[in-house]
Structure 1
Amino acid sequence: MSGLRRLLGRIPGVREAWRTVYGAWRRIVDPPTPTGYDDRPDRQTRRLLRRLRFANRFSRRSIVDPDSPVAVCTTTYGPRLRTVHLAIESVARGDLRPRRHVLYLDDPEAFRRLTPQLRRLQRRGLEIVEVPHGYKVHTKHWFYVNSTDHHEVPLATSEDDILFPPHWLAELVATLEKHPGDLATPRAHKVGFDGDRVAPYASWQPVRDDRPSFRNFGTSVSGQIYPPAFLDEVREAGETFLTVAPNNDDLWLHHVAVLNGRRVVQTRPQSQHFPFVPGTQSGGLYFTNIVGGGNDVQIAATYTPESLARMRSDT
């Protein structure tokens, strides 16, 4: 084989043509990413990214399964519009595909000018829906829960900056089947208390068991799944979240769950955090909610004496 390559290399123009073709191929399957602390994925993640880009460019396989027992919703904004297809492709390669995968966009310009990657996903079953602006992180669940008067299918929410492993959705569904009235997530924190008051969010510790608890707070960075009846309860709770927790959907959904007697259960005893899509962590709500203390302000405004009492009593 090496002898054949040397022979072909002597033919005028062959070497230059090969470099052009190979360079184009590399730009498709492994394009450069912006600089940032999340832009240094390990070898396994880089290999996964190449596979996801290849699938998006060449696959014709549907990303949904009409016989699936669960729907998935996502939202995105700004620069992440250029990379959200990678997060969606990671869900599509899973052991269990969703019945529906809906991407909500609150930017009319982005909706009119979808990226080629999203258009390819659209042809494979992705639903892309334009919605009103102003709901922020709540966009990924609020319009879905209002889409019908009675839900019969669980909803899993997926983030636009996470590469989900193949077991992700199937494991969520399996956990929900074991605990059909509760919320399930791969990653949760235990709500801390300082006397009768909620301790600062930054002091909450990761959950280290797979038992349901009112004090388990699901962090949807790794996704969550919600039973159908809970979706109806969220709809009935209205839009108070716009005032009390405009930048934290996890907080509002936890509050509604506790008020309705629903606990949160972690899918495994140890919490799971999956790889970031490179180039997505320069923005987002991490610095506002956690570093800037925004979570503590929203916690004080959201939890009521009833929900706090229920959490304190659940030891």
Structure 2
Amino acid sequence: MKVKELPVSIYYSLKLRYGTNGAGQKRSKTVIPVLISLTTIESRLGVVDLVIRSLLSQSVSPVKILLWIPDSLEKELPPRLTELCGDIFEIRTTHLHCSHKKLIHTLSAFPEYPVITCDDDLMYRPQWLSLLYEESQRFPGAIIANQTRTIKMDREGNFLPYGQWPTDQPAAVGSDWVLPIGAEGVLYPPASLDKRFDKEDLFLNLAPKADDLWFKTMSLLKGTKCRLASNRSKKAVPVMGSQKTSLKHVNIKKDLNSVQWLKLSDHFNLKDKLKSD
């Protein structure tokens, strides 16, 4: 977290924790037909309630907010998190420990709904959900993301390293080359991913630490275009102290994203798929 982000993080944390108690137990807002799905890790159990409170404090309400946790954490949940459970917010368990669980189980359980994924270390602004949903209504069938990279190749047709893929490049139309990044929120319409999206043997072998790359591959195989939202809300607010353990930092520092993308590309022949765009 940057020093300049500390004051707003502290402000949002206090406002959410002491102003939304019990907010998940009943509905009092307009409900839109989407689900929000996320996961968390043991080191964030003490602060993930702030993320949930920010989702419950949106200007509109989703049908459900689902937090997926490994079975091993079920008995370690703090009261400040479990007290939020109710009509809207649910905590569900899974045998998986990888980040892919934030989407695959919800897609399987609720195939008729659009699913929005988000991260467990950010507090989302009150208009975040409504704006993302409005954008999906403008471009039905497309995967909509508030943060993206653009896949790039060199002149010889080889993928450039992940770190050289530019961020947040707006495009007039959806594209196969746009990679949705999960942090600021991604909306997946129903049936927007290839039917192999939940094949554990595949994603644990090819992209065990890169759910964004796995889901991008599944959208390519299905032929679903991705696009950067044009009506993004202000950036989400980092939860103070939550970034000590971060998959993103590990992947970038060791360039694991490039390694995993090449494995996905080789296995699914993604170069040919992208060239046809």
TM-score strictly above 0.5: yes
Give 1 or 2: higher strand fraction.
2
Q: Give the percent of matched residue pairs that are identical in Structure 1 and Structure 2.
A: 25
Matching residue of 2:8: 44
Mapping of residues 92-111 of structure 1, within 5 Å: 92-108=56-72, 110-111=73-74
Counterpart of 1:129 in structure 2: which amino acid?
R
Superposition pairs for residues 75-224 of structure 1, below 5 Å? Answer: 75-108=39-72, 110-123=73-86, 125-134=88-97, 136-147=98-109, 151-194=111-154, 195-211=156-172, 212-224=174-186
How much has 1:133 moved relative to structure 2? 3.2
CA contact (8 A) 1:175 1:267 kept: yes
* 2:249 paired residue number: 287
Letter in 2 for 1:154: P
* Aligned counterparts of 2:261 and 2:24: Cα–Cα separation in 1: 45
Q: Which structure 1 residue ranges, 5 or more long, are not aligned?
A: 1-36
Distance 1:208 1:269, change over 3 A: farther
**Across the two proteins, how many residue pairs are aligned to each other?**
273
Per the alignment, in what secondary structure is the counterpart of residue 67 of structure 2?
strand
Indicate conservation of the 8 Å contact 1:187/1:272, yes or no.
Answer: no
- Kindly report the root-mean-square deviation, in angstroms, between the aligned alpha carbons of the 2 structures: 2.5
Q: Give the TM-score normalised by structure 2.
A: 0.89
Report what 1:259 is aligned to. Answer: 221
The amino acid that maps onto 1:88 is: I
Name the SS for the 1:171 alignment partner: helix
Indicate the larger mover: 212-221 or 264-273: 264-273
The structure carrying a bigger helix percent of its residues is 1
Task: Letter of the 2:115 partner, please give it.
Answer: L
Aligned-partner Cα distance in 2 for 1:186–1:272:
10
Q: Is the 8 A contact 2:49 2:81 kept in 1?
A: yes
Say which one has the larger Rg.
1
Deviations 1:287-310 (A, max 9, x none): 321111110110001125653233
Give the counterpart of 1:74 among 20, 38, 62. 38
1:96 CA displacement: 2.0
Q: Extract unaligned runs of 5+ from structure 2.
A: none
